[in-house]
Structure formats: C-alpha cells, structure tokens
Structure 1
Amino acid sequence: MKQMTKRLALIAAASGVVLGALTPLHASAAGRPSETLKWTKCEGSGLDPRQRCTTVSVPMDYADPRGPKIDVAVSRVPAGDPARRRGALLMIPGGPGGSGLDDPSQKGRRLPEAVRDRYDLIGIAPRGNAPSTAVDCGWEHADLGATTLRPWPAADGSVDGNMAAARRMSDACARNGGELVRHISTRNNARDIDRVRAALGEHRLSLWGESYGTYVGAAYSTMFPARTDRVVLDSNLDPDPVLAERAFLAGFETGVEDVFPEFAKWASRPGNPDRLARTAAQVRPLFLRLAARLDREPIPWPGANPQELNGNVLRQTMMGDFYDPDDWPDLAKLVLAARQGTVPPAPASPPEDVLRNVYSVAGATICNDVAWPRKASEYRKAVDASRAAYPLTAGMPRNAMLCAAWPYRPQEAPVRVTERGPANILMVQNERDMATPLSGARKLRAALGHRAVMVVNDATGHDAYLANGTACGDATVSRFLATGERPGTDVTCQ
C-alpha cells in the first residue's frame, strides 16, 4: 500500500492529457473497442516520445451503470515490434492513491527489450487521481503531515488525538469530496480496468501490479479471471477478506522488524561515513532512545510538516526510508544530526493540491473497502498491545485512521481472493520488505493456490522486479512476460 508515505507522495505527481493529434483506436481480431479513443500527447517531462494519453468513460457507481460517468486517464507506449505483439500489459500502481500514468515511460524503460517488443505498455491514473476525474477532501495543511495521515498515537500512547483527527478529516471528506468519494474502492478499480480493457479492444490483459496494485491485480484476477493473460504481482499485500487495508496497516509491525536488522548491519559497518554505532546490536537501542528523547523534547524543524522533529516524525521517516536501501544514508544522517540537537534541511514536499488529491483517494479507498471499529476503546487496547510487542512502530499499525469516523458504510464486501481461475500468476517478493512483508505475501500465495507460483528474493526493499530484487528474480519475471514460461514450483533467488 503506493500508501500515505514519502514514497506515495513522490509517485503521486500525475501527468495530464493535453491537445494533440487524434488517432482513433481501430478494432482488431482480439476484440471490438467499446468506444473510439482519442489519443493525444501526454503532459509531462522525460516521457517516451511515443507515449500518448486518452480517457475512458466509466460509471461513477457500477450499481447505477446508466448514471453519472467519470473519466479515467490512460496512457500507452506501443509495442516495439508490432509483428511480435502479444497484447497489452497494464501497469497497476501502488498506493492506494498512486498514479501510474507515466509508468509506460518510466517503468517501461527498465523492461527488457523482449518484453517491450511484445506488449503495448498501458498506464492508468485510477479513479479519483488527477488527471482522471479527481477528488479533494479539502484537508488543512496540518492534516497533510505524514504523522497525522498515518495514525501515530501520542507519546504516552493516547489515541484521543487520532480519534479527533479521524472526525475532522472524515467530516471534511463529506463536505468537500462530492459523490465520487463514496465510490472509490478496490472493486471499482478492478471494474475500471476491465472497462479500459474493453476500450482498448483486448479480449485479455496482462498485468503488472506493484504493492497495493497487487491487491487490485488479485481482485481483477478474481472478478474477471477469463480476461487475464500473464499476471505479475510484485511486493504483495495480505488479502485478508475481512480486514482488507487494516491488515495492510498492521503489516508494518513485522515489515519494520524484518528490515531493521539489515539497516543495523549497514549502519554499524566500518568505513560507512554515516555509521551510527560500532556494532549492529547497538543500533536498535540507540534509535529507540533517540525516539523517546524526541517524544519529550522535539527539535524545531522549519519547513517540515509538522515543523518539529519529534519521536513519531523520526519513526515515520524510518519507515519511509526503509522502502529502499538507497535511502538509508538519509535516515542515518537525520539520526546523527538529531543526536546533536540539530536537523538537516526539511525534505521537499509535492504541492499541497497534489497531496490532498493523493491522500483523499487513499483515504477513500481504505475506508470504503472495509468497515473500521468506531470505538476509541478498541484502538486503545490494540495500540497498547502493539506498543509493547513492536516498539519501533509505537502502536501506529493498529491505531485509528480517518476510517474510524468515515461517514459512509462500505457498499460491498472486500474481494475474497480464491484459486478459481487460470494458473497464470507469477508473484515476486523480497524477503525483507517494510511495506509488504513476506508474511502477508505468503497469505496471498496460499489464497491463490494453484493459480500462482512465487519467486522469493533474498533481498531487502520494496518493489522487487527491476528495482530492489535480484538478477535471478528479474530474469524469471522477464522470461514469464516475454515467453509465458513460469517456474513449476515456488523458488528462492539469491
């Protein structure tokens, strides 16, 4: 869950559709397009010059298919070798709240030629994400801080502030979010993808879902199994059919614990210019002591949100930097500075209108997918237990998000992922992944049964394929996409 973190903010900037040459999509033997798409030049820098954008009209409420419509923005880079073209590969972004409109250019460049030649690469800005028909709950600046959006309890474990924030932010969504905010959900994201498939004139789609996108990909493969071709699920979420995104949030407890020992080894390595301690065993107590000190005595941090480095801001920064080992020096530098009572310059933030849009989509998805407890007493008990068992995350993963006061009830039950459908899914997962821990991925693997096999990388970081995984894992996924060859059983890659 791309989720409400530094990473989510970075992937949130969406490309728009601007006027350009119009090229209608023609029907093919694969299927008849449901509408004539007008492909135009995409707005943004650093894009593949072949990338074009369009919009697909979908129902706002699938229970009322003849009712109001919304637009979903779609992008495409055509297959490199039309003579060998197999079909379309749709890249499902993380989040919830992330946009994948630039993915055909950005992620597409990392794909091997054998894959790029075979597929039109398709990106999407999911419903609610600009430049699709957008939502904005109109939250104030203070509510856009990561330690408010993520439900960090007070230093003493109190959840009263979280419950107040839940009411305040949910009320703002009810006032400002419009009707669309009620219809942003994983099921509807899957239905939108099927509308895009039809508009493209494809009988079947190949999928590459990352992080929260694996949940959408699993949902699509469950709801529309006959319309899937080759499916890659990368950095996989717990598909709990009762808890849904509450299980994803809880996964941070084990995810942080999985990664911290690797960070500690790196942070104690001789010769490391950002070395924190002489031994790996010293890093954890050092970090916990510093977080506790900052709980008591925050350091002013102009330009940050909030404008102080407190214990929860340090913990949240740790989580954000644990997504990618390349970011560990940033965390170490912050720890070194804070121990001296100083701070580095505040990190740059995306524009607030982008943050409000991204976080509004994220909140609506999480709250509409599953009902959350409404009583503060339930969260107090859960937070107390979490703080005792997992001090690095200080109770946040079991605390109250805005969903504790969400004004709407879920309209449908969460997707129950099952093994019914074709055996065409390849999962790829790192052993040490803060955001989507291996323990949750194993639950998705079990739910899919014979439909899937899983490649587990002996690697650390989020996003396994062509990012933080292994050469063996990358080759296995690329071979599957290019040729359909899939391992006969689950494998581990060193």
Structure 2
Amino acid sequence: MKRHRSIGRSPALAVVLGLSGSLVAVPAAADGPRASQVRWGACPEDVVAEAAPTELRCATVPVPVDYADPGGARIDLMISRLASTNPEERRGTLMLNPGGPGGAGLAQAALLVARGLPADVLDSYDLIGMDTRGIGHSAPVTCGFTPDGPYTSNIPPYAADDTAVTEQAKTAEKVAEQCARQDRDGRLRHLTTANTARDLDRIRAELGEEKTSYLGYSYGTALGAAYASMFPERSDRIVLDSNIGDTHLDRDGLRRYALGMEQTFPDFAKWAAARHDSYGLGRTPAQVRATYLTLAERLDKAPVAGFDGSLLRQYTFGLLFKKLQYPKLAQQWQALADGDDTAARRMPSQSATAGEATSSIDNPLAVFAAVTCNDIKWPANVDTYRNGVAEDRTRYPLFGAATANITPCAFWPHTPAEPPVAVNDDGPRNVLLVQNLRDPATPHLGGRMLRQKFADRSRLLSVDDSGHGAYVLGDNPCALNTTTRYLVEGAMPGKDTLCRAG
C-alpha cells in the first residue's frame, strides 16, 4: 500500500414507467469497448464552485429517454472527471454515486478528495462523477415543489394518530397529481434504477472502457447492485457503502429508517448524558431518550419557533447522520426545551436528511419520488399504512410513525414497466459491502440482506461505528485501509470482516 491522506469527519454526501408490459426489447448492454467518444471541457460554474480547489472536467453523454425505444428521444447526461494523478498506475475508471435518489454527483470526486480519499485511489482511477438522469445538469425534472408547500421531505411526517395518516394521504395524493401535471414531456416516468444502470453502461462504453469500477453510498448501493446484477461482465471492483438492502427502495426499506434511528440514537444519548452539565438533557442515556419523547409530545401540542413534534423527530433523525452534528442537535433540543423562540430560530428549520440539503428542494424531491415510485408498486390502500404506522409507533417509538406513513407512491399515476432488478449472484466475486453497525438511514440489516442476495459474489465489511457512510466519510482506519486495498489491489477479504472501533 502507498501513502494515504488523512481522513476528517464530515456530513454525509447528499443526503413508473407508464408503458405496459416489461422491457423485453431493451438491449442487454451498450456497445463494447472502443476509443473514447467523450469530449471533455469546462464544468458549469456551480460545479466549479462546489469542487474548488479541485479542478474537474465535464462532458455530456447522450442516452435514450426510453430504452425500449432506443431510436427515439434522447437526453444528455453530464459527467465529470478527475483524471488519475499517476497515468502509469491508472487501471481504469471509478464511477461515483452519492445517493438519493436525487443526489447531484458532479462534484463528488472533489468532495471525497477534500475528505481524504487516499492517494492510491487517485493514482489508480479516473474518478467519474455524474448527475444521473433527471438530476441537476442531466435533463432535470420538476414537480413544482416549494419550501412552503405541503411536500418538503422525502420522509412522511410523523403520524401521531390515525387522523394524521388520513390527512397525510390527502397530501400524498395531491403531490402525485402535481407531479403528473408537471410532467409535460413524459420523462418523469422513465426515471428508474434500471434505466440509470443502463445509463452507467452507456457512459462506460462512451469512455472506451471494457469494464468500470464503482463506489456508491446509500441509494447509490441500490444503483451499484443493479449495475453489477445487470452487467456482471462489465463490472470491475464494486464498493457499496451504507446499503439499503436491495436494488430499489420499497416500503419495507423506508420503514427500516426507523430501525436505524433506534440503533443509532443510543450513541447520541450516551454522548449527551456525558455532557449533562452543558446541555441538561439527562444524566443517563435513558433520561436523554425520555427527554426526546417528552419534548416531541409537548411540541405536538405547542410548537416553538415553528418546530412541532414532527419536525423535531425529522431534525433529530437527520442530525444523527454524523457524530460531528451532535452538538448542533443538543443545542436545538436545549432551546426547544427552554421554550426559547429566539435561540430555536437560529437553528435550521429543515431536517438534514439525505438528498434534501440543497438550495432547491424541487428537483431532488421530484427525482426521489419518481424513482422510488417507478421502481416497484407500492400499496394503495390507506389502511395498510394506517396499520403500519400503529405497528411501528410501538415497535420503533422514536421515528416509526413517520417512516411507516403514506407516501405519494400510493397514488403514483404510472405503474412499473418492468420488475425491479433482481440481484444476480452468478458473476465474479467483486462486490464489497461496507456497513456501519449503527446507521440511522441504512441499518446494518441492509448490508446483511444484500450479502445474502449476492452470496459468494460479495463480502461484508462491518464497521463498529455510528453514522451514515463509512469509507472516507467515517474515521475508522480498518474500514479505510481494507476498502482502499480492495479498490487498488483487488484484495477482497476472504470472509466477512468486522472493523472494530478505532
């Protein structure tokens, strides 16, 4: 192994097809390797600013809107490149995805560099970031969402009772109708994980690569799992960090957010209890938990500075993504518990969940809704959600009545044109699954689920840490070194491995 740059703690990277029948006519893969067809040039100004001081180059790759009609309408996808720093050691391309769905990724290479991506990796690969279809600079879609509208989060609001589920159902139906009205060119229904995986293969071919490696976080694990399953012979070294457990996010996956919060919250409670003299949230972890539940119920009845109980729960969930955010969370609790409107207003009013911390909520939330609703059919019966909320309110008291609540997918105007991508365990052993033991959005169960589905194609690297994102985004030396060794040398662990806290 060569030198590694130091790792710093940081926030996680941000957080329907209406055709009948399946896409049996879709080509299995893009054209084979050839000379690169990509013409690199300057990146858009916003990408340059986000990536600074790292300099990236950008280009566009045309892809079909509808892979069942490859000669029909096309859109341009924008990709970025951070070229290998040592061409003599370059072994190929490493495609990146930050998650979402709905996360812009053109500047991701620069963000990983800033967080300490090892120099070995920078030598070995051209890092390829991208805005996937529908996002940012890649034919962006819209549903017309606004910060003061009824839909400002990809997670439903906490439902305190059955009436709240009924009210949320009305909102969810209006949101689905709004997206349908805004979809004037019919592109929204073609946003699926399978189509995005096909896009990755088109990009690989345009870059002139026989194979591509891949590093994806959060929802990016679903996309990477889909690519490795659809194109096993084109996948090189695949790293999936913070796994949702499948190639798509379904209702069960969304409900697992509540499990993740239950498993991650004790780390914050222990931290806050050790600082009781500073924040006064409880002298023991159990007292901190009681403070949360009591404060949420109080805010349900009497909000402070616009914070009701639902927003407190969502805000807390979002700030559990990184331990570095614990002081901010404790300060907000303190202000709300004291009824201090002025102090509470100094804090952000939006939760920091994955894919939401953007200057405009419309595009990322439209993509999140489209992909999750298009990939798989969600239950349409409101009673199904009402029963789930009641179950999870008891099973996962911290957040279960939010993540089990009804979403626009229950009323989505398009039905899936093909089944979700099935995980393919018939291929090379090239999938390294990286998973914190305690993760609010993607609990460790997601890694175990995908490990079982990929079978001998994969190995699971578990990390005794808390938060969303382990490789580079965390600070565990074992996770850093093991994953880097695989990307650079191809040294896959011989068995599932636990990286102890360090």
**TM norm structure 1:** 0.89
- Cα deviations across residues 447-483 of structure 1 (Å, max 9, x unaligned)? 0111111111110110100122511111000111111
Deviation at 1:271, TM superposition (A): 6.9
1:380 and 2:386 correspond: yes
**Distance in 2 between the 1:76 and 1:100 partners?**
11
1:36 Cα shift? Answer: 4.2
What is the aligned-residue identity percentage? 40
Query: Structure 1 counterpart of 2:34, which letter?
Result: R
Alignment-mate amino acid for residue 232 of structure 2: P
1:341 counterpart residue number: 339
C-alpha distance in 1, partners of 2:453/2:434? 15
AA partner of residue 268 (structure 1): A
Cross-structure match for 1:266? 271
Task: Provide the residue aligned with 2:160 in structure 1.
Answer: 155
Specify the alignment match of 2:58 in structure 1: 53
- Deviation at 1:399? 1.6
Change (3 A) 1:181 1:145: closer
In structure 2, the residue matched to 1:326 is: 324
Alignment pair present for 1:455 and 2:461: yes
Distance 1:417 1:155 in 2: 37
- Hey, what's the Cα distance between the residues in 2 that align with 1:143 and 1:149? 13
CA offset digits 1:128-169 (Å, max 9, x no partner)? 0011101011124333654x5421244334311211111111
Query: What is the match of residue 27 of structure 2?
Result: none
Task: Give yes or no for the alignment of 1:310 onto 2:315.
Answer: no
* Residues 204 and 226 in structure 1, CA contact (< 8 A), matched pair in contact too: yes
Corresponding residue for 1:15?
Answer: none
Contact 2:434 2:447 in 1 (8 A): no
- Which residue of the partner structure matches residue 186 of structure 1? 193
Q: Which one-letter code corresponds to 1:340 in the other structure?
A: D
The structural deviation recorded for 1:487 is: 1.1
2:437–2:443 contact (8 Å) kept in structure 1: yes
The aligned residue for residue 211 of structure 1 is 218
Q: Partner residue of 1:290?
A: 295
* 2:41 alignment partner in structure 1: 39
Distance, in Å, in 1 between the alignment partners of 2:487 and 2:358 is 38
Instruction: Map Cα deviations across residues 230-273 of structure 1 (whole Å, 9 max, x no partner).
Output: 111111112177xx422221111210111111111101004763
Shift of 1:298: 1.2
**Residues 37 and 81 of structure 1: is their aligned pair in 2 closer, same or farther, counting only changes over 3 Å?**
same
In the other structure, the counterpart of 1:442 is: 448
Aligned length: 460
Q: What does residue 237 of structure 1 align with?
A: 244
Q: Which residue of 1 aligns with 2:96?
A: 91
* Aligned 8 A contact 1:157 1:395 in 2: no
Shift in Å at residue 40 of structure 1?
A: 2.6
Indicate the SS of the match to 2:371. Answer: helix
Partner SS, residue 465 of structure 1: coil
Tell me the CA shift for residue 329 of structure 1. Answer: 1.2
Aligned mate of 1:430, from 428, 436, 447: 436
Q: Post-superposition shift, 1:423?
A: 0.3
Match of 1:257 among 258, 262, 287: 262
Distance 1:352 1:213, change over 3 A: closer
- Structure 2: unaligned runs, 5 residues or longer: 1-10, 16-31, 351-355
* AA partner of residue 76 (structure 1): R
Which secondary structure state, in structure 2, belongs to the residue aligned with residue 436 of structure 1?
coil
Alpha-carbon distance between aligned partners in 1 of 2:410 and 2:422, rounded to the nearest angstrom: 23
Give ranges in structure 1 of 5+ residues lacking alignment: 1-6, 13-29, 302-307
Structure 2 partner of 1:20: none
Kindly state the Cα deviation for residue 274 of structure 1 after the two structures are TM-superposed: 3.1
| Structure 1 SS opposite 2:176 | helix
CA-CA distance at 1:386 after TM superposition: 1.0
Equivalents in 1 of 2:400, 2:148: separation in Å?
21
Structure 2: which amino acid aligns with 1:456? Answer: S
What SS class does the counterpart of residue 95 from structure 2 fall into?
A: strand
Would you say 1:226 and 2:233 are equivalent positions? yes
Corresponding residue SS for 2:229: helix
The amino acid that maps onto 1:314 is L
Cα distance in 1 between the residues matched to 2:218 and 2:297: 31
Per mean C-alpha deviation after superposition, the further-off stretch among 43-52 and 462-471 is: 43-52
Q: TM-score, normalised by structure 2?
A: 0.87
Among candidates 450, 471, 494, match of residue 488 of structure 1: 494
Q: Is the alpha carbon distance of 1:128 and 1:329 closer, same or farther for their aligned partners in structure 2, counting shifts above 3 Å? A: same
- Report Cα offsets for 1:372-396 as digits up to 9, x if no partner: 1112111111111111211111412
372-381 vs 204-213, greater mean Cα deviation: 372-381
**Corresponding residue number in structure 2 for 1:421:** 427
Structure 1 equivalent of residue 5 of structure 2: none
Partner SS, residue 309 of structure 1: coil
1:401, 1:133 → 2: CA distance? Answer: 25
Aligned pair partner of 1:168 in 155, 165, 174: 174
Which string of whole-angstrom CA distances, capped at 9 and with x for unpartnered residues, describes residues 344-374 of structure 1?
4141778987210010011100100111111
- Aligned-residue offset at 1:50: 3.8
Aligned AA for 1:366? T
The answer to whether the 8 A contact 1:463-1:469 is kept is no
Aligned pair partner of 2:133 in 127, 130, 137: 127
Change (3 A) 1:358 1:247: same
Q: Does 1:278 align with 2:283?
A: yes
Does the CA contact (< 8 Å) of 1:166 and 1:406 recur in 2? no
The structure, 1 or 2, with the larger RCO (C-alpha pairs under 8 Å, 6+ apart) is 2
CA–CA distance in 1 between the matches of 2:476 and 2:267?
A: 16
Can you list the C-alpha shifts for 1:45-97, whole angstroms capped at 9, x where unaligned?
A: 14355410011110011111111001111000110111111000011221111
| Alignment-derived partner of residue 247 in structure 1 | 252
Name the Cα RMSD after superposition: 2.1
* 1:26-50 CA-partner distances (Å, limit 9, x unpaired): xxxx931474434334423143554
CA 1:157 to 1:468, structure 2 compared with 1: closer, same or farther past 3 Å? farther
8 Å Cα contact 1:418-1:449 kept in structure 2: no
Match for 1:204: what amino acid? K
Q: Contact between 1:252 and 1:436, CA under 8 Å: does it hold in 2?
A: yes
Deviation string 1:294-338 (CA, Å, 9 cap, x unpaired) is 111112x3xxxxxx1100000000110011111111111111111
Report if aligned partners of 2:218, 2:244 keep a CA contact under 8 Å in 1. yes
Q: Which amino acid aligns with 1:361?
A: V
Equivalent pair of 2:61/2:78 in contact (CA under 8 Å): yes
Kindly provide the amino acid, as one letter, of the partner of residue 345 in structure 1. Answer: R
The residue number in structure 2 matching 1:11 is: 14
* 1:412-443, Cα deviation, whole Å (9 max, x unpaired): 11111131111011111100001110012100
1:219 maps to a residue whose letter is: A
* Structure 2 match to 1:396: 402
